[in-house]
Structure 1
């Protein structure tokens, strides 16, 4: 595909519809307060519907046993003498935090044995019976990236020989007027390049009601009736044709499946922080995902993308209600994917993951600040689940998925409180006046005391459990000859793992404070926005880095000085946390550095198999992105492009929904201002300068104003 072929959509005699005829599905709003168990469908293949009770007993029973042992040891650590209130608080906080890592350990251990024995191999597909749609929701994204990805996915599916079973639908919630027009230009050019059998469609929503969940729901209710299944992507998703076909075949072969989730691997990352994440996801991720899939069974979870969904079942059971009250805990459901999986499972459809299914990819934020922005939104969505976890009819595994998501963010303030309580106890030991006269007879004064040997053993156990999932992933990679070589060889693999563990330890206290701040903000009622995610460049102005991390640095210095003044042992114990916080600014700066990431790549550190032997679809998507970028759609002014290209203007007007134009007699302030500016403007360039983004969106939604824009000359006539 040549860039020249994308430069300008041709002028067709008749504008081809951007979407197929609607085939509507009803999507009733579900209730979290009432549910009749008789409404749950009966399994079509009950013999295939097995619950992995032994695996769950291993994971949760083992996690509880480890937690009980850790709590017992901590009790003996703090109960050498009379136990104080602070020591009891430390015991409670330790038990909560220890239970979290103990459960992660037993689940990863199950996944480790599962991968050793080759559990859960996905089948292959040679034929399909039903139609599937690949849906890509986008929101103010680079058109070169998203349309190149979709084109590469379509090519890959066509190469399987089963392409006639698939359509492709881009559903846009874009709010930037220039990006909107860029999307339309890219869509028209791509469709023209692919020919009359492109089966590629595009729809833009006038208002991004309920965000991504509303975007998908709008598609399902309007066109879902055409398709038995839908593969939902994210804007940074890539899936091979083989992966998509195998997902569709798996769903056709299992009449009880409602959602089948793949395991996306992170690719195409080059900044330092993103490469750390990419390496960790590739080496440790399969162990964690396999363990989760094994104990979840058919009561699994959904991550919102790179999964296949039974369309009618989704429409019937996944209409999300608004929660009472205002955000952050009220309003629309923010993290909709967990809830949709819960509703599907409640209705009697299975939800499960195929972690060994290859060919599913995504990308990750390029820097620490970028991931913290995304994390803030995820924190609000997961804490909002505290209002949903008790919904009627949910199976207990579903509630466990909710609890895991909530604890993933609440753990940070718990860890912070444990550190604070530990400091206070050491302070009490060093500076509190001993109590000579207690209610019980004693010959010696009473100080708060600890069992140092037991405390050291418990610390070693905690660190071993915390790091074990990473160790399992490293072992499996070392055992696998091809993977070991693809990761740079055994020595480089171990060096990469040590590098990841070291810097994860440095980044951890920074993320602890960021997540704790997010949780406290949410509890105080502060809502998050919905900003498009940065995908590529990790560089952030240094002054912004200083502004974001100056309090973290100050807290690190304060904690370090205080700990050293209280006791050198406390300073040594807290040194990883202190170092991470004191170096927060340079660490955050380094996280987004492309040069550092590429230096590591050249020296084959933090290397993944997908870098040494890039997936064909990623290579093709990158090549197409470079070609698409040459068309210049992402850098162009939307109004100017619409004015200059009559065929684009005609296509744009044809894509506008009917009924958007105002009623006679109704005066909307933004429209009135936009119209006045268009009337006053002498050229389209002047109009482009004067119109604000919101006014531009009004113009682009109004056929009459578009006509007024088209009547303007491109430049002033010479006197």
Structure 2
């Protein structure tokens, strides 16, 4: 228990009922322009055989060269023009991206087919081991539904308690909530949860300053409480993990002292719309193949996805302090997509980063509609493009740099695909409307006749599509080769029908996502901040006006592309029909895919046919929703226990002299002084002012003690 051996004596806070005694741990921002101090991590083998990485990269290069050679034969019509040269260059870049993913999937196919264990060797089914380390379960939240949040927290708590190792775990709900009504409701539901489970290892912390968002939230916890714990398991607000898996993760960290982080593979659950069911099905069927392939050649140089992972607290505090980047957004400011960077920094300090894709029991949810997915994707796009400023950091492992490049490329590929389509269209329009030059400059005995080879073009197109579709078939073969998996999915014919339907629907949705991602890249590059919106987690029923407004752009793009292609030739329009059709149908697809499903049908997975216990328990608790909650001030006025606990949770520290003026607090104080009763003051305060009042014990007490108009 390395953290406990170095812990200072706990320092108690002043009567705070929501939190344990503080055990501070130093965590300072690292320097990207300096190499990390060597020798901090325990020695351990993180090497991967050279053969594995040669297999991936040589295979990628060979596929890229073969495809590039074929594409060159297609475009060399009387010499390669400038547009055709650019088109060929784009094709090589995009084909390299596709080929790289294909090679990882191919590796995963052989690993799973031979029943090998990729990544960190963790026994997923043996007797449950005993653990001795202290672990903190951290669930950050930002304006989420408190009732559903506590349902997930309680379900996981009960699952861990059932393993018999519950005393080794403390649970922290780390709130960055800015909505004052949700903040007080969080406290109320947390108090109710504590009473329900009769446990004193459940803690709640509200952070009034949301600096650096989730990464700042976790770093704040490390600095205040980290020294008391060996490990922390970081969750998302929609995360669920089974107690059995949690205990096995802790045991894996205990038996691998060189590991700083072990990332699980979350499985999507609770899909209720067609769109989320598509994501749940594809992630469950294809995800294991991709994860196994990546874990096979990543070894101890793997990556972090920001949630459902266990982290060694000491390694995180020493190596993963994030600096604030200089410059304007998207490259400056706080690092948004923190997970990739934190993994790279810990790897730079000598720690190993592993994946455990065969360990089952890790779950998450997914946005319920295309528009919700695109909104979340916009935030991720800005964060991943910001990694361009992190790439030059000194001392990073080359695989860590590749992870950063992969994240960047996942968004830059969208505008590159769009540019590839537009260039191909322009070349066709040029050939159709501009008369070819039969006798080019210089001596030529015979004229140069324009030639086209549609058969060769079809072969190149079919080969490229094959690299995209073949991994799905390989995943199907792996699934049906496992008797238990095949039975849990209700038979191989049903899975195959689901794969075919998912492939068609995904192909129709992909063009709209290409337009959304291209827009996100452009907005990020011009410095438009994505903000920090609350993710919608309901059934995804969208207003028709919102669908029309937000999907009008993709529809218009489809109309322009179809008319331009038809102007060139009907065969070109037929070639572009998969892209054009998806864009033209974006509005009806948005309506259909956001609709609620009574049953998953062909997209049923093992988890929908036989829901895991922790998922069933969380859904059961969430279904017992309480009556609508009153506003923050009304809740505090009518619940003395809530008011007492809220007051004791607030910081009593006096503000620093010459500190910046809190404008919201100043205006709130002025408004309260102008009012004669509680109702008038409460109605006059806006959300930011009410939040400032709720954070100030004296002013809150003064407001609650004001006379009520009903008493006059």
Q: TM-score, normalised by structure 1?
A: 0.93
- Decide whether the 8 Å contact of 2:144 with 2:534 is kept in 1: yes
Match of 2:648 among 643, 651, 654: 654
Is the aligned partner of 1:630 residue 2:626? yes
Aligned to 1:451: 453
- Decide whether the 8 Å contact of 1:19 with 1:201 is kept in 2: yes
- Decide whether the 8 Å contact of 2:429 with 2:567 is kept in 1: no
Is the aligned partner of 1:428 residue 2:430? yes
Q: 1:194 to 1:15 in 2, by over 3 A?
A: farther
Q: 1:693 to 1:316 in 2, by over 3 A?
A: same
Is the aligned partner of 1:699 residue 2:699? no
Q: 1:55 to 1:541 in 2, by over 3 A?
A: same
Is the aligned partner of 1:44 residue 2:43? yes
Match of 2:102 among 102, 105, 109: 105
Aligned to 1:155: 158
Aligned to 2:607: 610
Deviation of 1:77 (Å)? 1.5
Match of 1:671 among 658, 665, 671: 665
Aligned to 1:3: none
Distance 2:673 2:130 in 1: 59
1:351-401 deviation line (CA, Å, top 9, x unaligned): 010001000000000100001011011111111111111211111111111
Match of 1:390 among 386, 392, 395: 392
Q: Secondary structure at the match of 2:137?
A: strand
Distance 1:99 1:392 in 2: 26
1:618-675 deviation line (CA, Å, top 9, x unaligned): 1101111223x2264xx32111111112221111010012226697999754334323
Q: Secondary structure at the match of 1:160?
A: coil
Q: 1:666 to 1:542 in 2, by over 3 A?
A: closer
Q: Secondary structure at the match of 2:136?
A: strand
Length, aligned pairs only: 693
Q: Secondary structure at the match of 1:579?
A: helix
Match of 1:254 among 253, 256, 259: 256
Distance 1:664 1:399 in 2: 43
Q: 1:16 to 1:527 in 2, by over 3 A?
A: closer
1:499-543 deviation line (CA, Å, top 9, x unaligned): 110111011110001101111111112121011111123112111
Aligned to 2:403: 401
Q: Which moved more, 1:517-526 or 1:354-363?
A: 517-526
Aligned to 1:7: none
Q: Structure 1 stretches of 5 or more lacking a match?
A: 1-13
Aligned to 2:10: none
Match of 1:61 among 58, 61, 72: 58
Match of 1:297 among 291, 296, 299: 299
- Decide whether the 8 Å contact of 1:640 with 1:684 is kept in 2: no
1:242-261 deviation line (CA, Å, top 9, x unaligned): 11100000000001000000
Is the aligned partner of 1:619 residue 2:622? no
- Decide whether the 8 Å contact of 2:438 with 2:449 is kept in 1: no
- Decide whether the 8 Å contact of 2:335 with 2:386 is kept in 1: yes
Q: CA RMSD in A?
A: 1.9
- Decide whether the 8 Å contact of 1:265 with 1:282 is kept in 2: yes
Aligned to 1:9: none
Deviation of 1:76 (Å)? 1.4
Please give the residue correspondences for 1:290-689 in structure 2 after superposition, counting only pairs within 5 Å.
290-446=292-448, 449-594=451-596, 597-598=597-598, 601=600, 604-627=601-624, 629-630=625-626, 632=628, 635-659=629-653, 668-681=662-675, 683-689=677-683
Distance 1:472 1:148 in 2: 37
Deviation of 1:488 (Å)? 3.4
Distance 1:497 1:414 in 2: 27
Q: Which moved more, 1:377-386 or 1:555-564?
A: 555-564
Q: Which moved more, 1:208-217 or 1:74-83?
A: 74-83
Q: Which moved more, 1:450-459 or 1:610-619?
A: 450-459
Distance 1:298 1:199 in 2: 33
Is the aligned partner of 1:95 residue 2:95? no
Q: 1:391 to 1:15 in 2, by over 3 A?
A: closer
- Decide whether the 8 Å contact of 2:102 with 2:467 is kept in 1: yes
Is the aligned partner of 1:191 residue 2:194? yes
Is the aligned partner of 1:128 residue 2:124? no
Q: Which moved more, 1:427-436 or 1:273-282?
A: 427-436
Q: Secondary structure at the match of 1:39?
A: coil
Aligned to 1:145: 148
Q: Secondary structure at the match of 2:138?
A: strand
Distance 1:668 1:311 in 2: 34
Q: 1:643 to 1:664 in 2, by over 3 A?
A: farther
- Decide whether the 8 Å contact of 2:377 with 2:517 is kept in 1: yes
- Decide whether the 8 Å contact of 2:16 with 2:649 is kept in 1: no
- Decide whether the 8 Å contact of 2:272 with 2:539 is kept in 1: no
1:648-705 deviation line (CA, Å, top 9, x unaligned): 1111010012226697999754334323433454554443322210111011011122
Aligned to 2:33: 33
- Decide whether the 8 Å contact of 1:272 with 1:593 is kept in 2: yes
Distance 2:416 2:449 in 1: 26
Q: TM-score, normalised by structure 2?
A: 0.94
1:426-483 deviation line (CA, Å, top 9, x unaligned): 1122121121331243355446543222211111110110112211112222222332
